[in-house]
Structure 1
Amino acid sequence: MEEQAIVIALVGVLGIGAQWVAWRTGWPAIVLMLAAGFLAGPVLGIMDPETAFGGMLEPMISIGVALILFEGGLSLEFREFRKYGGGVWRLVIFGVPLGWLFGSLAGYYIAGLVWPVAILFAGILVVTGPTVVIPLLRQSAVQQRPAALLRWEAIVNDPFGALCAVIAYEYFRSTAATGGTAYEVVPEIAIAAGISGLIGFAAAWIIAWSFPRGFVPEFLKVPVLLVAVVGTFVICNKIEHEAGLLAVTVMGIALANMHVSSLRSIHPFKQNIAVLLVSGIFILLSASLDLDQLRQFEWQFGLFLLALLFLVRPATVLLSLLFSDVPWNERLFLAWIAPRGIVLVAICGLFALRLEDLGYADGTILIGLSFAVVVTTIVAHGFTIDIVAKLLKVKGATQPGIVIVGATQWTVALARQLHDLGTPVMLVDSSWQKLKPARAAGLPTYHGEILNEATEHNLDMTPYQVLIAATDNEAYNTLVCSEFAPEIGTDRVYQLGEGADHDDHRAIPSSLRGRSLFHSGFGVDDVQQRQMEGWEFRRTKLSDKFSVEDAREALPEAASMLMLVESDGDLRFFTHAAAPEPQPGDTIISYSPPRASTAEEKAAKRNGKGGNKPQPA
């Protein structure tokens, strides 16, 4: 019991620690997680998951994979499919059989595997998997269409890859036992897969029907959902091996498109669960690797890995997308990015022993070879995705962007300053008339209600890492901040302060509000009054010769510094609680009285101090 507790603690520390280091350094998180588990397990021998958990390790990992696939299915909306469905269905209908065929040929002729092992392994290789694709997409700002295609392919192809392996295994088992044919094996598995899909859909319908009607209290919704997913997975696996993966994927996609409003509150929880599961499973699998299996690695396996990267995947994607409307630069990008992850290793570990029982000695090689595929593809694609995206011009906005909710004189003026600096900015308002000045200034705008569910599909939030809610309604601004805080981060949502004349008895609780802009805590009424008085935004570029102290001297005493645009484009705000530390090369955006008063104050300073101050850039 004590050893199991230590392993669980180590898995958590190593997994989340690797995610944190990846966030700080920009390195691929999955690479760091694999390295951490490999060092802690086979290299240093600090932990041995198989000894600690024994027979429980495999079902633990299987249920974790099922929950990850369900969470991934919840992110797949048919509205997005209608935009990019032409590419998605080609990658599924054509990509799976083509990838299976090319992978089988490479396994037999290059890796030297016997046909049964090569065919089964190639079936598993058609998966890419959300556990590796989604962290890569989070790390690199890829344009919306190629990112959507990769995400849909990863989630939808995962269960199909598992089913391909089941078909191959059942065929070879049936042939060895009774001399059965494919006509006997395939229809049976197809029927089982169809039944599993229906069970997954039925489970989603029951949840979508019962939750809004109050049959499940709020505090039990998350536990009921988790139990339903695990139960569906186990039941369908009893019908056919690995059919549970298909069932939970269908369940997630169905729930996502039934638009159950009561599920919105669990989105932050499911995202946290996915991060914990991905981290934990990667650590467990890499720590379980046996060095003796790695020693079985032969030179032709290296050639097989190169063929997988440069022949199998490119041929599969380019042939699947032939005559499609996907541009060639995006096709080439998709042809390169195909990292493999948890599902590949988990299923290979399951079938390797079964193949050995059938008399195929090459079966045990699959465990080490599957890890080699995972490590190679994760390292190759994780460290090159940014480079390839830039070369093929599929890179999205690299500079952090900002969404401003509410089109007022103040927000339009702020958006113009940011736009001139090259910062991606989007003004959002439900009033077409209020957006007119922004459109006239050539600023990007979105006409719609930011809290409407349709906005999630019509407005791509990927380029924007900061949100400012600055409408005339302070309560609405608080609602927007509380809604987007779990998605963007509580330290990245802002609103105007409560103002100097706010009523303490009617004030909105600070726990609900976004961070207050301005050190002085200017409120909605304050900035409106100052806009009428002619206040304006000013940009001040800092340098080695012009410091932040010089900038403060150059501004009038009444001016307030609002934000800092760092040299790398990152955004930092001067708030009531904290202030960034400006460095040379940064640009300060301040809110200042009219230039006439500024000139008068400067003259007074010069007369009083007898010296000239450097002027802001």
Structure 2
Amino acid sequence: MELMAGVTLLLFLGVLAQWLAWRLQLPSIMLLLVFGLLAGPATGLMDPDALFGDMLPVFVSLGVAVILFEGGINLRLEELKYTGDVVRNLITVGVLVTWVSGSILAVLFLDLPLMLSVLLGAIIVVSGPTVIGPLLRHVRLPHNTDATLEWESILIDPIGALLAVLVFEVIVTTSSPAAGTTIFLLGMIRMIAAGAVLGLAGAYFLIRMIRRFWIPDFLQNPFSLALVITVFTFSNFIAEESGLLAVTVMGIVLGNQKSVALRDIIEFKEDLRVLIISLLFIILTARLRISDLTVIDPGSVVFIVLLIVLVRPAAVMLSAMGSRLHIREKLFMAFMAPRGIVAAAVSSIFALRLSQSGYPMADRLVPLTFFVIIVTVFFYSALASPLARILKIAEPRPSGFLIVGAHLLARKIGIALHDAGCRILLVDNHQANIKAARMAGLPCRLTNVFTDNIRLCGIGRLLALSPNDELNALAVLHYRKIFDHMEVFQLPPDVEQVHAEEVLPGHLRGRYLYDKRASFSYLYGRMLGNGIVKTVKLTETFKYEDFSRYYDNTDIPLFVIDSKGLVIPVTLDASVSLSPGHTLIALVAAKDGEQSPATVSRPQQPDYECKSPS
């Protein structure tokens, strides 16, 4: 009963923290750590060691393996075209700078033996996707900065783990510098070879199985999960801690191959990632004891401060020297290096083994590592958003619209949205429509709406305005996986029925726009007649009722812009406030020679892409 209650509490706190982070617009990692501290050392409600026993290290290791695989499968090699040199330097030069500097600082300020300091320096090299991933989702960065930090976080985890294992082997097997160097180099070769070979083999095996249809659709997710865990475990069996490298390589290969579709597997792993990160971070902090606070002294405070203000900036500046990154991007990266699960797991394993062998001060390794993790997570989580805004590299909330169709109706709506300051991108595969959109000054692309090379920076919503109801439904199904169910909109089907739900069930469509009569043929017919798209500011003296009365109650409200400037589509499933102070965009019957604007009111904008600051 205690086990069930403990697991239930763990799941509840993890999901609650993620939900609160979403509602409060806070980094989820901060709330997860707070919940873990409250459940563990603060109240004693949860004791992960007693709850899981010997299974705890296994659960943590497998969870990290799944997270690294999921991170690898989302990496794209084409991103390295612009950031590859920086990523390479961060996982080589940056690792070396952090390792050496951290080891020296540990000797000077923590009074640890030399080899234990070298081991701690190796452990704190890692950052990891368990912490960087949630922060990057919270702080929207230019594409190059985001990609560089994501690549570094995923590749540095296995590298840091390998480094720590090799240092540990040197500590426990030899006291001779020459012999230690030999053990270190041979061990590195063995681990890299095992991880790379097994990762490639696992990816090839899965691709071949799926390509030949030897795995039915309903088994693809469980089969891939079992294969990831098998590759991880077998690689660790051959060379300790090489499993992290193996699953990372496996994920990168699978994510960049073009021969089989893996969308369902990727989505499944993304869902697992959110749950696993939630559980791992609560477990991490709940394991702390009040007695662990004894490691916090002036020396440890100086140690962590120098890691943040000296070591990380030095590693980034040396690694990014001569790169295309702007100085503001480099400064942001210099203050973004939270430590995570891998550091905690590795330190726990090695501290136990060293303590059993009687190594002096080995019991300080875990509390010091946890101190570094908690301080860096809280510090960087609190700093990330303000720093991005100060450096002017924070991307706005992706509230723009991807508009399916560039016909007359879509163009008039696009002009109104564009002139209201909303990001838009029209997509159509009819050249005449795109030519007209370009003449109107609208951002547009002559392409298929389902292509993967549409850049969506700043765009987070879909308006499916195609005359083809089936195309609209397919676009909704495709983009609800990229945006969110609440952010995909389509025109109601062109049918003479009171309830449009009789045509398409809810799970096969987006949110219906405007009102139940607003099918494409109806709206387009209005446009071809004397219809115009009108934008008006509502005031105390000119309310919506006055506006509607002026146009003989023929208006169809399309969008409302609230007092914060957010554009809200009018939908069948939600009421929208039309209060004074709001701006209304509506389709009306023109009066007194009125016309819709033929072009945008500002110079033509290029297709929206994620760009570095200039």
TM-score normalised according to structure 1 size: 0.91
Structure number with higher relative contact order (C-alpha < 8 Å, ≥ 6 residues apart): 2
Partner in structure 2 of residue 68 of structure 1: 67
SS for the counterpart of 2:221 is helix
Residue of structure 2 aligned with 1:593, choices 581, 589, 594 = 589
User: Which amino acid letter does the alignment assign opposite residue 408 of structure 2?
Assistant: Q
In the TM superposition, residue 91 of structure 1 has moved relative to its aligned partner by: 1.5
User: Which amino acid letter does the alignment assign opposite residue 496 of structure 1?
Assistant: L
In structure 2, distance between residues paired with 1:115 and 1:595: 85
In the TM superposition, residue 462 of structure 1 has moved relative to its aligned partner by: 4.1
Residues 311-358 of structure 1: CA deviation (Å, up to 9, x unaligned): 010000001111222221111111111122211212111222223234
Greater Cα offset, 519-528 or 7-16: 519-528
**Pair 1:563 & 2:559 matched:** yes
In the TM superposition, residue 58 of structure 1 has moved relative to its aligned partner by: 0.9
User: Which amino acid letter does the alignment assign opposite residue 494 of structure 1?
Assistant: F
> How has the CA–CA distance of structure 1 residues 552 and 206 changed in structure 2, closer, same or farther, with 3 Å as cutoff?
same
Partner in structure 2 of residue 373 of structure 1: 372
**Pair 1:389 & 2:385 matched:** no
> How has the CA–CA distance of structure 1 residues 576 and 359 changed in structure 2, closer, same or farther, with 3 Å as cutoff?
same
Given that residues 405 and 466 in structure 2 are in contact (C-alpha distance below 8 angstroms), is that contact kept between their aligned partners in structure 1? yes
**Pair 1:118 & 2:117 matched:** yes
**Pair 1:513 & 2:513 matched:** no
User: Which amino acid letter does the alignment assign opposite residue 487 of structure 1?
Assistant: I
Given that residues 461 and 487 in structure 2 are in contact (C-alpha distance below 8 angstroms), is that contact kept between their aligned partners in structure 1? yes
Partner in structure 1 of residue 458 of structure 2: 463
Partner in structure 1 of residue 601 of structure 2: none
In structure 2, distance between residues paired with 1:350 and 1:570: 50
In the TM superposition, residue 597 of structure 1 has moved relative to its aligned partner by: 9.1
> How has the CA–CA distance of structure 1 residues 549 and 38 changed in structure 2, closer, same or farther, with 3 Å as cutoff?
farther
In the TM superposition, residue 44 of structure 1 has moved relative to its aligned partner by: 0.7
In structure 1, distance between residues paired with 2:357 and 2:25: 45
Residues 494-526 of structure 1: CA deviation (Å, up to 9, x unaligned): 111113536989944443111111123411212
> How has the CA–CA distance of structure 1 residues 273 and 505 changed in structure 2, closer, same or farther, with 3 Å as cutoff?
closer
Partner in structure 1 of residue 606 of structure 2: none
Partner in structure 2 of residue 287 of structure 1: 286
Mapping for residues 76-475 of structure 1, pairs under 5 Å: 76-176=75-175, 180-398=179-397, 400-453=399-452, 455=453, 459-475=454-470
Residue of structure 1 aligned with 2:572, choices 570, 576, 581 = 576
Partner in structure 1 of residue 608 of structure 2: none
Cα RMSD of the aligned pairs, angstroms, is 2.3
In structure 2, distance between residues paired with 1:385 and 1:555: 49
> How has the CA–CA distance of structure 1 residues 517 and 363 changed in structure 2, closer, same or farther, with 3 Å as cutoff?
same
Partner in structure 1 of residue 48 of structure 2: 49
Partner in structure 2 of residue 605 of structure 1: none
> How has the CA–CA distance of structure 1 residues 194 and 543 changed in structure 2, closer, same or farther, with 3 Å as cutoff?
farther
In structure 2, distance between residues paired with 1:431 and 1:159: 48
Greater Cα offset, 286-295 or 272-281: 286-295
Partner in structure 1 of residue 18 of structure 2: 19
SS for the counterpart of 1:361 is coil
SS for the counterpart of 2:425 is strand
> How has the CA–CA distance of structure 1 residues 477 and 294 changed in structure 2, closer, same or farther, with 3 Å as cutoff?
same
> How has the CA–CA distance of structure 1 residues 278 and 594 changed in structure 2, closer, same or farther, with 3 Å as cutoff?
same
In structure 2, distance between residues paired with 1:384 and 1:595: 54
**Equivalent pairs, count:** 594
Partner in structure 2 of residue 489 of structure 1: 484
Given that residues 401 and 463 in structure 2 are in contact (C-alpha distance below 8 angstroms), is that contact kept between their aligned partners in structure 1? yes
Residues 428-458 of structure 1: CA deviation (Å, up to 9, x unaligned): 22344322222223322233222123x2xxx
Partner in structure 1 of residue 532 of structure 2: 536
TM-score normalised according to structure 2 size: 0.92
Given that residues 70 and 249 in structure 1 are in contact (C-alpha distance below 8 angstroms), is that contact kept between their aligned partners in structure 2? yes
> How has the CA–CA distance of structure 1 residues 521 and 119 changed in structure 2, closer, same or farther, with 3 Å as cutoff?
farther
Greater Cα offset, 58-67 or 441-450: 441-450
Given that residues 126 and 160 in structure 2 are in contact (C-alpha distance below 8 angstroms), is that contact kept between their aligned partners in structure 1? yes
In structure 1, distance between residues paired with 2:592 and 2:300: 75
Greater Cα offset, 63-72 or 586-595: 586-595
In structure 2, distance between residues paired with 1:444 and 1:183: 60
User: Which amino acid letter does the alignment assign opposite residue 91 of structure 2?
Assistant: V
User: Which amino acid letter does the alignment assign opposite residue 325 of structure 2?
Assistant: V
In the TM superposition, residue 66 of structure 1 has moved relative to its aligned partner by: 0.4
Given that residues 397 and 424 in structure 1 are in contact (C-alpha distance below 8 angstroms), is that contact kept between their aligned partners in structure 2? no
User: Which amino acid letter does the alignment assign opposite residue 154 of structure 2?
Assistant: I
Given that residues 475 and 508 in structure 1 are in contact (C-alpha distance below 8 angstroms), is that contact kept between their aligned partners in structure 2? no
In structure 2, distance between residues paired with 1:551 and 1:8: 57
In structure 2, distance between residues paired with 1:276 and 1:160: 25
> How has the CA–CA distance of structure 1 residues 551 and 49 changed in structure 2, closer, same or farther, with 3 Å as cutoff?
farther
In structure 1, distance between residues paired with 2:188 and 2:398: 49
Greater Cα offset, 542-551 or 117-126: 542-551
In structure 1, distance between residues paired with 2:580 and 2:356: 67
| Structure 1: segments with no counterpart, 5+ residues | 600-617
In structure 2, distance between residues paired with 1:355 and 1:521: 73
SS for the counterpart of 1:100 is helix
In structure 1, distance between residues paired with 2:105 and 2:541: 62
> How has the CA–CA distance of structure 1 residues 364 and 592 changed in structure 2, closer, same or farther, with 3 Å as cutoff?
farther
In structure 1, distance between residues paired with 2:377 and 2:460: 26
> How has the CA–CA distance of structure 1 residues 404 and 370 changed in structure 2, closer, same or farther, with 3 Å as cutoff?
same
| Structure 2: segments with no counterpart, 5+ residues | 596-614
Greater Cα offset, 53-62 or 112-121: 112-121
In the TM superposition, residue 587 of structure 1 has moved relative to its aligned partner by: 2.3
User: Which amino acid letter does the alignment assign opposite residue 280 of structure 1?
Assistant: L
Partner in structure 2 of residue 611 of structure 1: none
In the TM superposition, residue 156 of structure 1 has moved relative to its aligned partner by: 0.9
> How has the CA–CA distance of structure 1 residues 547 and 114 changed in structure 2, closer, same or farther, with 3 Å as cutoff?
farther
